[in-house]
Amino acid sequence: MLLSLSSALYRSAVYFSTFIRCYIHDEQQLLETAERVVMACSESKLNDNSSECQKLCKSKLCCFDEGDYGCQDDASKDCAVYAACEALVEGLAVGAADENEE
């Protein structure tokens, strides 16, 4: 019985350890994605070329739709990771700072 219990505890520890490693890996990937989105959707990048921002944000634009097609409540969409995509949706006046200076 003791051997069976220690074997079960070992399996549980291995499972838990694997779960934690996967969770940390997933969180790291989400952080890296968020950083890529922030960089790609920055005003300076959008002024230069918005294609990378559009590519990264294409499937997440529902995060900014408050209507019937919105998905901000769908945890599987990771909307917080794609917050910088709002620059596309809000139609930030790309280059507006330059125009105002003239």
87: which 2 tokens? 């620059």
Q: What share of the chain is helix, strand, coil (3-state, %, to 5)?
A: 75, 0, 25
pLDDT tens track for 70-88: 999 998 899 999 999 999 8
Compute the Cα dihedral for 29, 24, 61, 59 and give only its sign.
positive
Q: Is the pTM of this model over 0.75?
A: no
pLDDT tens track for 6-65: 666 656 665 666 656 666 768 889 999 999 999 999 988 888 889 999 999 999 999 998
Three-class SS state of 68: coil
